[in-house]
């Protein structure tokens, strides 16, 4: 016969004394990996629970996977701070929490002025059993037709608005950063035809954006 379980209570928040940080449901946290050589695990807290005395605090979590932990492994377009929100739920002791972190949406991550150690981003949900991603399609850019890796510098064509890797258009990163205007190969040939009939440019503002680079 199993012993009746001691009644548990749900906590609104809990202060992890070792790091002096207060956690609550919805927070993203770094958790101690079983091997110290590995990077911290990242999880989203769903619920915090304690026994009737407020001790033995456990967190119900949903794991974030790093690209290398996914079935398909890390791909070229995966950012160094990219995480996948998995369908893998778990219960862990609150003592394994090493710190708090922020998992940004892809859009807000690309708008950060500086990426700190605790900044991550997530653009895919991930099934840990099938290895499937949601969404299963993502916009591709450049001649190489790759999804955008926010760690990479890209330049935007002022005409078609597609983004290009400097290397794919035979340019160095330094050259790309100095560009005031950029027209891709296919647009520059079309542009010459257009120029005779259209004198005013449709794209007056500078569209060359040296996308944010990770420090
Ligand atoms: Zn490319
Ligand atoms: Zn173009």
pLDDT in tens, 149-179: 999 999 999 999 999 999 999 999 999 999 9
- The ligand with the least distance to the CA atom of 154 is 1
Residues 126 and 93 in one domain: yes
CA of 140 to the centre of ligand 1 (A): 10
Residues 20 and 106 in one domain: yes
CA of 179 to the centre of ligand 1 (A): 17
Residues 190 and 85 in one domain: no
Token pair recorded at residue 101 = 């972190």
Does residue 207 lie within any of the structural domains?
no
Does residue 14 lie within any of the structural domains?
yes
- The ligand with the least distance to the CA atom of 146 is 1
Residues 38 and 130 in one domain: yes
CA of 23 to the centre of ligand 1 (A): 41
Q: Is the pTM higher than 0.85?
A: no
Residue 186 has pLDDT above 50, yes or no: yes
Per-residue pLDDT, 46: 98
Residues 21 and 81 in one domain: yes
Beta strands in the chain (DSSP E): 8-11, 13-16, 21-24, 28-31, 41-51, 58-65, 82-93, 97-105, 119-126, 133-134, 140-141, 146-147, 155-156, 163-164
CA of 141 to the centre of ligand 1 (A): 7
Our count of domains for the chain comes to: 2
Beta strands in 77-181 (DSSP E): 82-93, 97-105, 119-126, 133-134, 140-141, 146-147, 155-156, 163-164
Please count the CA atoms within 13 angstroms of the CA of 3 that sit on its side-chain side: 3
Residues 85 and 174 in one domain: no
Residues 118 and 50 in one domain: yes
Give the residue, 168 or 5, on which the prediction is more confident. 168
Residues 30 and 71 in one domain: yes
Residue 207 has pLDDT above 60, yes or no: no
CA of 44 to the centre of ligand 2 (A): 41
Residues 71 and 156 in one domain: no
Residues 123 and 146 in one domain: no
In three-state secondary structure terms, 108 is helix
CA of 156 to the centre of ligand 2 (A): 8
Confidence class of residue 211 from pLDDT cuts 50, 70 and 90? very low
CA of 109 to the centre of ligand 1 (A): 21
Per-residue pLDDT, 151: 92
> 66-107: per-residue pLDDT in tens?
999 999 999 999 999 999 999 999 999 999 999 999 999 999
Does residue 214 lie within any of the structural domains?
no
Share of the chain above pLDDT 70, in %: 85
> 18-63: per-residue pLDDT in tens?
999 999 999 999 999 989 899 999 999 999 999 999 999 999 999 9
Domain boundary among 117, 134, 151: 134
Q: What's the rounded mean pLDDT across residues 200-215?
A: 37
Domain extent, residue 74, equals: 8-134
Residues 166 and 151 in one domain: yes
184: CATH: 3.30.40.10
Does residue 75 lie within any of the structural domains?
yes
CA of 184 to the centre of ligand 2 (A): 4
CA of 24 to the centre of ligand 2 (A): 47
CA of 171 to the centre of ligand 1 (A): 11
- The ligand with the least distance to the CA atom of 164 is 1
């Amino acid at each position: 016969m199993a012993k009746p379980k001691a009644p548990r209570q749900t906590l609104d928040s809990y202060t992890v004394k070792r790091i002096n940080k207060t956690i609550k449901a919805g927070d993203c946290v770094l958790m101690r990996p079983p091997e110290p050589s590995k990077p911290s695990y990242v999880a989203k807290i769903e619920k915090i629970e304690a026994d009737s005395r407020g001790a033995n605090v456990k967190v119900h979590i949903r794991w974030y996977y790093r690209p290398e932990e996914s079935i398909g492994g890390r791909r070229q377009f995966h950012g160094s701070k990219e995480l996948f929100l998995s369908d893998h739920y778990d219960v862990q002791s609150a003592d394994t929490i090493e710190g708090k972190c922020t998992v940004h949406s892809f859009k807000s991550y690309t708008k950060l002025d500086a990426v700190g150690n605790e900044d991550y981003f997530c653009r895919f949900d991930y099934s840990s059993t099938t290895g499937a991603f949601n969404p299963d399609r993502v916009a591709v850019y450049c001649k190489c037709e790759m999804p955008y890796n926010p760690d990479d510098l890209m330049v935007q064509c002022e005409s078609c608005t597609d983004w290009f890797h400097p290397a794919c258009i035979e340019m160095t990163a330094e050259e790309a950063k100095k560009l005031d205007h950029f027209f891709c190969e296919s647009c520059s040939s079309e542009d010459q035809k257009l120029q005779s009939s259209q004198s005013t440019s449709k794209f007056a503002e500078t569209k060359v954006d040296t996308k944010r680079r990770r420090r």
